[in-house]
Amino acid sequence: MATTLDEIAAYKEPCSVEVFRRRVPGDVKIYSWVAESRTSSDVPYPDPVDIIDWSQSYYIIVCIVLGDNVRRHFCGKLCVDVDVDTCGPAPDIEFPEKYVVLDPCGDGHYLVEFELPPGTFTQDRPRCGRVYRLCVTVGSTDACDKPGLIWGHCDSLEIAVHPPVSNPWAGCPRRSAAERSTCRGTQPR
């Protein structure tokens, strides 16, 4: 499990960001990923996953980092929005926006989580699974609640969602390890 942002950055490229309509490399970075667990003090950056089981909870993690030369000049809020598009005949999913109050005297790191509870994804073809695209948009408002200067997006974060997988060894309780290696636990369809 990742304990530093550098470890996450090794998995993910930062998303597209603009500050006042000019690209400012290194000043603002946004990362987003899907994880099996929430962030915590022990594991601030849970490992990314891209294939998930639709019967379990997962979390969309959005990490926004404002560098010192930008952070200390911004008040207001960041608005984080997540929408999910489907590849195929399934409904798109929208999440309520979340807001983070900017702290110009803080460390410039902001983590936002969106929970994907069990059953978020439904499927008409359960054996094949389905691919979903998560689109993350980050905007800002100033201290007067008017549109701010920070804008970014992370799109085409793709995840594959599959039905629950039962224990493949459930049908092989009394066999040796060598025999279990060939046992499937269920009959082919």
Residue 127 covered by a domain: yes
d(CA 189, CA 18): 52
Q: What is the count of structural domains for the chain?
A: 1
Q: Is residue 71 assigned to a domain?
A: yes
Domain-embedded: residue 58: yes
Report residue 8 as tokens. Answer: 């996450």
Q: Are 52 and 96 in contact (CB under 8 A)?
A: no
pLDDT at 181: 58
Query: Does 33 fall in a domain?
Result: yes
The pLDDT value recorded for residue 187 is: 47
Q: What is the pLDDT of residue 124?
A: 61
- Evaluate whether residue 108 is within a structural domain: yes
Say what the pTM is: 0.77
Q: Is 41 left (phi over 0), alpha (psi -120 to 50) or beta?
A: alpha
* Weakly modelled stretches of the chain, pLDDT under 70: 1-3, 5, 8-12, 18, 20-26, 123-127, 167-189
The answer to whether residue 188 sits within a structural domain is no
Give the CATH number for residue 106: 2.60.40.10
Residue 187 included in any domain: no
Domain presence at residue 163: yes
Range of the domain at 138: 5-180
Q: Which one, of 55, 56, 61, lies nearest residue 40 by Cα? A: 61
